[in-house]
Amino acid sequence: MDYLPFTRPFIDEETIQGVAEVLRSGWLATGPNVGAFEARLSGYLDGRIVKTFTSATGALEVALEICGIGPGDEVITPAMSFTATPNVIMRVGAKPVFVDVDLETRNIDLDSLEKAITKNTRAIMPVHFAGLAVDCDALYDIAKRHGLRVIEDAAHAIGTEWSGKRIGSFGDIVSFSFHPNKNMTTIEGGALSLSDRNEAAKLDQLRFHGIVKDDEGNQDVLLAGGKYNLSDVAARVGLGQLAHLDSFNEKRRSLAEHYLECWKLKDCVLPRNGEGHSWHMFAPLIPFDRYGVSRQHFIRRMHEKGIGIGIHYPALHLFSLYRSLGYRRGDFPNAERIGLETVTLPLFPMMEKNDIERVVNSISETIGS
């Protein structure tokens, strides 16, 4: 029986041929394909300004810089996400202020968020976990009342909708990831969506050495920028992927709904479905202690059955880096429970419903043995 990983990207033959054409062209770094990819992304997001990056991590860091966030500032973010989210806050010299998350949505608890705002808070960095949108109406209401910037970590949420509008087609600054395990890929890469043209111009400088050019091509350097520009090879992959994104997401929704229909194990917390969900991941919480099985044993047995399992994610505040800021076990109970019980099950567009049934049956067999 074929091994079923928890995710697998699909690259069609037309895209592979397109990449070969880029390689033969001799223009491998940022060029016409990057321009075309950014234009297509802009169209997909209702005309917003879109700038691509070598990673979503770099995009988030530059977004913080655009907002002028630095030493002495605080940025509120969920206590359960990938470590890139708080890392970039620390890299600009600010402090990540963690807030607990909801058990079912895994999204930031907005009531707790508002209580965490202080005189030093400059921004909110929510995460649309697994492709389910945060309540954007409530989020932006809080931000407006307190005069805060919002930098949305939408690494999981390309194609996700809130109230019929795609994430990234509205709001402040929104970051996407195109890593191979995301709903669409550029191999490695990311993008920022924003609306302010002055900030977009500064973004261009920050992502390429701080360089500006006049109409005659003369250069000047205005700030100490980094280097985050996407390659044309990566952009050509992105163009091919974006053409399939809606169908990819529709298939993901169908598969996730089948997980919910077929699920057998009791006492688990299943991820919440919702309108506009793009289902980047399917990650139930399994109470391993209650079943007398360790998660390591479960993952090993599933692997023996030819099924890959991921863990997304451990609670952030328990890592050594964030403990050094004063965070301790018990601070965020939901994030800690998720960190102990979460498993990420196979979910990608090339799967079929019988694959879902295979996974669900294997889970029941493994937990019960």
Q: Under a CB-based contact definition with an 8 Å cutoff, are residues 255 and 356 in contact? A: yes
CA 121 – CA 94 distance, rounded (Å): 10
Which pair of tokens denotes residue 121? 């808070």
Residue 182 known to be catalytic: yes
* CA geometry: angle 6, 14, 180, nearest 5 deg: 25
CA 36 – CA 236 distance, rounded (Å): 9
Question: CA-CA distances (angstroms) from residue 353 to 6, 258, 304, 356?
Answer: 15, 7, 21, 5
Please enumerate, as own/partner, the contacts of 292-301 that have beta carbons within 8 Å and a separation of 24 or more: 293/366, 293/367, 295/340, 295/341, 295/343, 298/343, 298/366, 298/367, 299/343, 301/366, 301/369
DSSP calls for 66-105:
HTT--TT-EEEEESSS-THHHHHHHHTT-EEEEE-B-TTT
Per annotation, catalytic residue among 182, 213, 251, 264: 182
- C-alpha Rg value of the chain to the nearest Å: 21
Quick check: helix, strand or coil at residue 125? coil
* CA geometry: angle 75, 152, 30, nearest 5 deg: 115
Catalytic residues: 182
